[in-house]
Amino acid sequence: MTARVALVSGGTGGIGTAIVKRLTSLGHKVATNYRDEAKANAWAAHMKAQGVNVAIVPGDVGDVSAAESIVKAVEHKLGPIDILVNNAGITRDTTFHKMSALQWQEVINTNLNSCFNMTRPVIDGMRNRKWGRIIQISSINGQKGQYGQANYAASKAGMHGFTISLAQENAKFGITVNTVSPGYVATEMVMAVPEDVRAKIAAQIPIGRLGDPDEVAYAVAFFTNDEARWITGANLAINGGQYMGW
């Protein structure tokens, strides 16, 4: 396996951490961004103690110029970016009739506008070098919708629209663009759902449990392989069987 440079946005979160660990274990040089310096330093120290070396750079992916700075800082530390995982995401769950403009905008900005912000500064380099892997971490709820998540579901469905367009434009340049759509994985984000609501959701999962973050990271690593070069524009559901749309 060729060692590559990978940037995983939101790498300090539940699924992000698992992706960072798995890509480093494959020999890639991995970086992530952060917004909270103290939290990120503690996280990086914790990673180091486990033998995981990860570069951390400050910046909010929802901001165009901050995203450019993230990419520049990572390229300065590790070299040109070969693998981009657009993983950073937030929720602001509420039924639509109660939703504020801010709750709508924050979610669309962090989850969807970030895909433009982060991908735009890396795409030219990938095209010039004729190799790239871009992976969007979407959600089951972008595929099926979710009561209380009009903002989040719209952002996550939008991410796959981004994937399938970018996949077409960059296929000739050795760049694949794919989406991974996790279901309910045991992370802080899912644990923030009220317990009674969460129990009802868990009961709808045929495999009978929430997902493990590493079960998502496994699929992300799969798409980064050289041998995955003919797979582009795919949307891979990883949800314990909760939603089997096709």
Is residue 179 part of the contact set for ligand CAA (CB under 6 A)? no
C-alpha–C-alpha distance, residues 126 and 175, integer Å? 7
Instruction: Taking the CA atoms of 222, 224, 230 and 231 in sequence, report the sign of the dihedral they define.
Output: positive
Nearer to ligand CAA, 24 or 138 (CB): 138
- For position 140 contacting ligand CAA by CB under 6 A, the verdict is yes
Q: How far is CA 84 from CA 106, 148, 199, in A?
A: 22, 30, 34
Interface residue with ligand CAA, options 119, 149, 151, 178 (CB under 6 A):
149
* Among the residue ranges 41-49, 58-66, 126-134, 145-153, the one whose residues contact ligand CAA (CB under 6 A): 145-153
Q: Which of 141, 155, 176, 224 binds ligand CAA (CB under 6 A)?
A: 141
| Nearest to 194, CA basis, from 148, 151, 157 | 148
139 lies in the binding site for ligand CAA (CB under 6 A): yes
| 243 among known catalytic residues | no
Helix (DSSP H) and strand (DSSP E) numbers for the chain: 10, 7
Stretch near ligand CAA under the rule CB under 6 A, chosen from 10-18, 47-55, 193-201, 216-224:
193-201
Using DSSP, state whether 229 is helix, strand or coil: coil
| C-alpha–C-alpha distance, residues 164 and 19, integer Å | 22
| Helix, strand, coil distribution of the chain in percent, nearest 5 | 50, 15, 30
Contact flag: residue 245 with ligand CAA (CB under 6 A): no
Single out the residue of 193, 202, 231, 238 in contact with ligand CAA (rule: CB under 6 A): 193
- Specify whether the CB–CB gap between 159 and 86 falls below 8 A: yes
151 binds ligand CAA (CB under 6 A): no
φ and ψ at residue 141, rounded to 5 degrees: -75, -15
**Judged by CB, which is closer to ligand CAA: 26, or 201?**
201
Among 152, 157, 167, 213, binds ligand CAA (CB under 6 A): 152
Q: Which one among 1, 3, 42, 197 touches ligand CAA, defined by CB under 6 A?
A: 197
Residue corresponding to tokens 């995203």: 67
The answer to whether 148 contacts ligand CAA (rule: CB under 6 A) is yes
Q: Which residues are catalytic?
A: 152
Return residues touching ligand CAA (CB under 6 A).
91, 93-95, 139-141, 146-149, 152, 183-184, 189-190, 193-194, 197, 201
